[in-house]
Amino acid sequence: MSTRAKGGKGTPATVAATKAKIEYTLHSYEVDPDAESYGEAAADALGVPYGQLFKTLLAEVDGRLTVGIVPVSATLDLKALAAAAGGKKARMADPKNAERATGYVVGGISPLGQRRALPAVVDASVSALATVYVSAGRRGLQIELAPADLIRLTGARVAAIARG
């Protein structure tokens, strides 16, 4: 199912996209509570290639929360993320800290409309895509938008941060 949000209602992610006046499409799907990977389950449910649906991961780079946005077909290269963010060392953030900082629950963390503006890096593979899918702020809802709009709305740097 595809819809366009009207009037700024919805999740903080859809509100942010609407306020920015970008073109986007929402896609909802049934959540599989037993899925091992939220991202791959979302891609399967929507019939989207794994390389086009990106997951939002939070890491601590030199103690500072940083957002890594990579295809669900890949893993986040922490060393590459640290380098892209201008740091030395990165480790995955505690899920509770990620939820507190973003205002979203794990499995539904969107790179858009986060509670606090955090530094973000999106994998360079995004540049080859016409559109990209990311979480719209809750499990069962993805937002499809142009890579340039994702980069602009998140203030992300583009760098090779995905492995596999």
Three-state DSSP at 157 gives: strand
Q: Say which residue, 80 or 34, is predicted with more confidence.
A: 80
Indicate if the alpha-carbon torsion angle 112, 108, 92, 115 is positive or negative: positive
pLDDT above 50 for 30: yes
Third-level CATH fold of 12-163? YbaK protein (3.90.960)
Domain positions in the chain are: 12-163
- Percentage of residues in the chain having pLDDT higher than 90: 87
**What is the radius of gyration, based on Cα positions, of the chain?**
14
Is 142 a residue whose pLDDT tops 50?
yes
Q: Sorting pLDDT into bands at 50, 70 and 90, what band is 9?
A: low
- pLDDT tens digits, 43-55: 999 999 999 999 9
Q: What pLDDT is stored for residue 33 in this prediction?
A: 82
- Under DSSP, the state recorded for 131 is -
Average pLDDT, the chain: 93
CA distances from 2 to 25, 74, 122, 162 (A): 6, 26, 24, 28
Which whole number is the average pLDDT over 22-36? Answer: 91
Q: For tokens 């929507």, what's the residue?
A: 46
